[in-house]
Amino acid sequence: MEMPVQSTALRSGACTLNPAPRASVADVDADAVVQALHLAAAIFDDSGRLLSHNAAFASDFTPPPELTRRAFESRFQPFADVDLPHEAGTDEVYCPSTGRSYSLAWSNLGHGLRLLTALDLSDRVEWVRRHRALQDQLLFTSRAMSVGEMATTLAHELNQPLATIINYLGAGQRLIEKLPGLPPRLNEALDMARSQAEHAAAVIARVREFVRTREPRRDIHHVGEFASHVVQLLQLEAQKHRVLLRVEIADSLPEVRVDRVMIEQVLANLVKNGIEAMRTTPPDERIVRVGARLNADGRVQIRVSDRGCGLADTTVQQLFAPFFTTKSNGMGVGLAICRSIVEFHEGNLYFEDNPEGGASFVFTLPAASQEAEQP
């Protein structure tokens, strides 16, 4: 395309917005063409200097008098999370200074002149992001419903065999009592097995009730009671991994009004995570501490600390996201469910680095006295 430059004006003998028969094409000032465009447009020379631009370009980018192409392009960065279909020869970019997204297109006008057009894509990008968020939410809802259905089915199917196991263990204990000379630890082992089975049956019963009514059954308990119970239940697993479990809870701590089975499940999950996090920790340092105190807000703060490998910053950001897991065989629902249970009890669950090394998971519960004071 021939475009002789005459004086300071840019002229073109074949530049037009709409195709027309050659006989009707008139000489048009290229600067006037730029001004007539509704989208932001500018003309640069072959050395990269800005020669002309329209009002839309000035409004969007506020160009300084000596703007160069390199300086202009340095204002943009590629999209980090959106992949838009685009035509060849265009670049979809984001401008931090304006907070807008654009499609930049360069056209060669001849004689070392290049035309830039910048199409604002912000509304389109926002629509794509909202659409993707809705798709993710739909996927999460679908998976959450599937998990709920599986939990209901498992609760129904496991309830009967667990009841049978408890009955067999009870019968076995009664037979042992009638047989003299048997090791006393045999009866102790059966008693612990029955306790575990009864706990599992209680958990399943509460899962079924939780799914059906969404209302926990709360009673007043001391934190030390269910913490000691959880530690006792996990003692065999801790011994298997050569982990020492310690409960450090003062008797003077205020009581809490909670659904004991549900809070025990939270505590058990956090303790098990602590045990599994110390696979590479030297055996003499494998300690999981369960402590509790009254915080500045008058709430009971329960802390589970381990001496494991800790968590990376990128992992912490997604720690409580449903279906996110760092375990090769994990489902990624444990911590998400724990957080839901704690929040259901008007508490908070969060993560902190352990000063001694490793990780600490902390959750708060309102003291029973606090609930009594509320109107």
| pLDDT at residue 6 in the model | 37
For residue range 135-165, list pLDDT tens digits in order.
Answer: 666 666 556 656 666 777 777 778 788 888 8
In the predicted model, is pLDDT for residue 19 greater than 50? Answer: no
Amino acid (one-letter) located at 374 = Q
Q: How far apart are CA 96 and CA 348, in angstroms?
A: 35
Question: For the range 338-343, what are the long-range contacts, defined as Cβ-Cβ under 8 Å and sequence gap of 24 or more?
Answer: 338/265, 338/266, 338/269, 338/270, 338/363, 341/262, 341/263, 341/265, 341/266, 342/266
Write out the DSSP string of 225-288. HHHHHHHHHTHHHHHHTT-EEEEE--TTSPPEEE-HHHHHHHHHHHHHHHHHTTTTS-GGG-EE
- Is the model more confident about 32 or about 208? 32
SS3 121: coil
Average pLDDT over residues 79-94: 66
Handedness of CA 158, 161, 164, 170 (dihedral sign): negative
- 359 and 229, same domain (yes or no): yes
Q: Does some domain include residue 165?
A: no
Percentage of the chain with pLDDT > 70? 74
Q: How far apart are CA 262 and CA 9, in angstroms?
A: 79
Q: Does some domain include residue 107?
A: yes
Give the position of tokens 């629509």. Answer: 127
H or E segment and range at residue 296: none
* Domain limit, last residue, from 87, 120, 153: 120
Percentage of the chain with pLDDT > 90? 16
- Is the model more confident about 17 or about 149? 149
| pLDDT at residue 370 in the model | 65
Q: Does some domain include residue 154?
A: no
At 5, the pLDDT band (50, 70, 90 cuts) reads very low
| pLDDT at residue 318 in the model | 60
* Domain limit, last residue, from 120, 153, 188: 120
**Contact by Cβ (8 Å): 86, 70:** no
| pLDDT at residue 16 in the model | 33
Q: Does some domain include residue 209?
A: no
In the predicted model, is pLDDT for residue 81 greater than 80? Answer: no
Q: Does some domain include residue 333?
A: yes
Q: Does some domain include residue 272?
A: yes
The interaxial angle of helices 223-233 and 260-276, nearest 10 deg, is 50
Cα 31 from chain centroid? Answer: 51
How many structural domains compose the chain?
2
| pLDDT at residue 29 in the model | 64
H or E segment and range at residue 342: helix 334-344
At 15, the pLDDT band (50, 70, 90 cuts) reads very low
- 258 and 374, same domain (yes or no): yes
- Is the model more confident about 14 or about 220? 220
Phi, psi of 130 (to 5 degrees): -65, -40
CA separation, residue 154 to residues 162, 201, 205, 208 (Å): 12, 12, 11, 10
H or E segment and range at residue 321: none
Residue 293 belongs to domain with CATH number:
3.30.565.10
Cα 329 from chain centroid? Answer: 19
Residue-number span of the structural domain to which 363 is assigned: 219-375
* Domain limit, last residue, from 77, 102, 120: 120
- 226 and 374, same domain (yes or no): yes
| pLDDT at residue 262 in the model | 85
In the predicted model, is pLDDT for residue 329 greater than 50? Answer: no
Residue 61 belongs to domain with CATH number:
3.30.450.20
Amino acid (one-letter) located at 273 = N
Write out the DSSP string of 10-71. EEESS--SS---GGG---EEHHHHHHH-SSEEEEE-TTSBEEEE-HHHHHHH---TT-BHHH
For residue range 169-225, list pLDDT tens digits in order.
Answer: 888 888 888 887 778 788 888 888 888 888 888 777 766 665 554 456 788 999 999
Q: Does some domain include residue 288?
A: yes
Q: Does some domain include residue 145?
A: no
**Exposed / middle / buried, residue 237 (Cβ in 10 Å: 0-12, 13-18, 19+):** middle
**Contact by Cβ (8 Å): 308, 372:** no
In the predicted model, is pLDDT for residue 305 greater than 90? Answer: yes
Tokens of 31: 């600067």
For residue range 241-286, list pLDDT tens digits in order.
Answer: 899 999 999 888 999 999 888 888 889 889 998 998 898 889 889 9
Average pLDDT of the chain is: 77
Q: How far apart are CA 305 and CA 293, in angstroms?
A: 14
- 227 and 360, same domain (yes or no): yes
